[in-house]
Amino acid sequence: MLGKHSGRNAFKQRMKELGIELESDDAYNKAFQRFKDLADKKHEIFDEDLQSLVSDEADATAAERWRLVSLQQESGTSKRPRANVVLADAGSEHPAASEGDGPVDATFKAIESLAASGAELLLYSVNAVTQGTESQGEVTVRLAKGGRVVNGVGADTDIVVASAKAYVNALNRLQDKMQRINPQR
Written as one string, the DSSP assignment of the chain is: -EETT--HHHHHHHHHHTT---SSHHHHHHHHHHHHHHHHH-SEE-HHHHHHHHHHHHTS-TT--EEEEEEEEEEETTEEEEEEEEEEETTEEEEEEEE-SSHHHHHHHHHHHHH----EEEEEEEEESSSSTTPPEEEEEEEEETTEEEEEEEEESSHHHHHHHHHHHHHHHHHHHHHHH-TT-
One domain for residues 126 and 151? yes
One domain for residues 130 and 81? yes
The last residue of one of the domains, among 39, 58, 77, is: 58
The last residue of one of the domains, among 58, 76, 104, is: 58
Per-residue model confidence (pLDDT) at position 96: 97
One domain for residues 31 and 71? no
- Count Cβ atoms within 10 A of the Cβ of residue 112 and give its class: 0-12 exposed, 13-18 middle, 19 or more buried: middle
One domain for residues 103 and 157? yes
pTM as predicted: 0.68
One domain for residues 169 and 83? yes
Spans of the chain, pLDDT less than 70: 1, 55-63, 177-185
Cβ distance 124 to 138 under 8 Å? no
Say which CATH number the domain at 75 has: 3.30.160.270
One domain for residues 81 and 155? yes
One domain for residues 106 and 75? yes
One domain for residues 116 and 41? no
Say what the alpha-carbon torsion angle 40, 89, 168, 4 is, to the nearest 10 degrees: -10
One domain for residues 94 and 16? no
The residue segments making up the domain with residue 91 are 66-181
The last residue of one of the domains, among 58, 87, 106, is: 58
Q: How many domains does the chain have?
A: 2
One domain for residues 26 and 110? no
One domain for residues 128 and 168? yes
One domain for residues 87 and 147? yes
